[in-house]
Amino acid sequence: MDGHFLECLAKQPGNQDAFTSRIASLNTLATRQAHDLAWAVNSPSLLSSHESALHTEHPRIDINAINASHLSAFLAAGRIDRVGRYFERLISYWLHHVRQVKVVAESLSIRQHKRTIGEIDFLFHDELQRLTHMEIAVKFYLFSPDHVAFDSHYLGPNAADTLDRKVDRLLHHQLPRSETLFPEVEIRQPFLKGRIFYQPAHRTSTLHHPLLSPDHLSSSWIRESQFDLMTDKPETANRQIVFSVLQKPFWLSNELRRQLDTDLLSCSELSDLVSKHFSDHQHCLLVAKLVFDGASYVESSRFFVVPESWPKTT
């Protein structure tokens, strides 16, 4: 569809204000950050209820209640180029300005013998005035039944990072630090968000990791040579489907884009970009597939494209 459709839609009785508001807000940095904050808080945990037995329910967030410009100014005050650091800043904002709890410490360095051995992410008094130690992370793992790294089939784009290593560190190293340093802590809370990516042939696999919540977010991953599995060339030809290569740190919430955004790619354009990328680089690409809904492009799925050599752990 072309821009004429958007003009016609805007002229329909009762549509203009809502239409103008939606299109104006799409793809702005503040709007994206507000959606990412809502995702960071409301998305399901990666951890199973058994592994997160120390977890207590936290209040969800209403995206309509987020002051997007205030959030954007807060985030601009710190470096957020990495996904993990961006996630930390979003959670900091949530605690300080949404929940408005008393934060005792955040990113508190732990030193031993004049050497930094780790840090505590957040110490705060919750709404019931209970001192809470929360360790947070956002992670993206690719399930690979044919590969094992450090005793895990759930590997990060950097395959040295695995689900098993991260959960072990979170539950058995990071959270227990406060037992000695802050024995008055009443709640020790893991806060692990993210997605698990499966190859298309394994999406219905009966294999399930006991650490994972059955409600975890899931997507797909493919190798460069499997590119055709994730594209729909006939539909893409008439611009019903486009693609967006997601840039860090914006790997969290679903994409919502304007029809006229110039960085959206057709299937053939994405294919060319993927080929060129892997001729020069070996890091994975995260791609969103978007469908036109009559007013804008909305994400229908996302997938990692990895090089033929993945995974490498050395």
**pLDDT tens digits for range 169-216:** 999 999 999 999 999 999 999 999 999 999 987 665 546 788 899 899
Query: What is the percent of the chain with per-residue pLDDT over 70, rounded to a whole number?
Result: 84
Q: pLDDT band at residue 239, thresholds of 50, 70 and 90? A: low
Higher pLDDT, 113 or 64: 64
- Local structure of residue 200 (DSSP, 8 states): G
Determine how many CB atoms are found less than 10 A away from the CB of residue 123: 19
pLDDT at 30: 92
Residue for token pair 């959206």: 264
pLDDT at 73: 95
Mean pLDDT of 92-99: 96
Residue 170, in any domain of the structure: yes
Residue 312, in any domain of the structure: no
Indicate if the pLDDT at residue 14 is higher than 50.
no
Closest CA to 221 of 161, 304, 122: 304
Determine how many CB atoms are found less than 10 A away from the CB of residue 171: 20
β-pairing verdict for 285-292 and 241-245: antiparallel
Q: Which structural domain range is residue 70 located in?
A: 3-306
Higher pLDDT, 112 or 13: 112
Residue 181, in any domain of the structure: yes
pLDDT at 58: 81
Residue 288, in any domain of the structure: yes
Two structure tokens written together for 289:
């597939």
Residue 93, in any domain of the structure: yes
Amino acid at 229: L
β-pairing verdict for 102-112 and 115-125: antiparallel
Q: Where are the alpha helices (DSSP H) in the chain?
A: 3-11, 16-25, 29-42, 68-76, 83-93, 163-169, 177-181, 233-237, 267-280
Residue 269, in any domain of the structure: yes
Q: How many domains does the chain have?
A: 1
Residue 314, in any domain of the structure: no
Residue 65, in any domain of the structure: yes
**Can you tell me the distance from the alpha carbon of 209 to that of 18, in angstroms, rounded to the nearest whole number?**
44
Quote the pTM value: 0.86
Q: Prior bond to 311 cis, omega within 30? A: yes
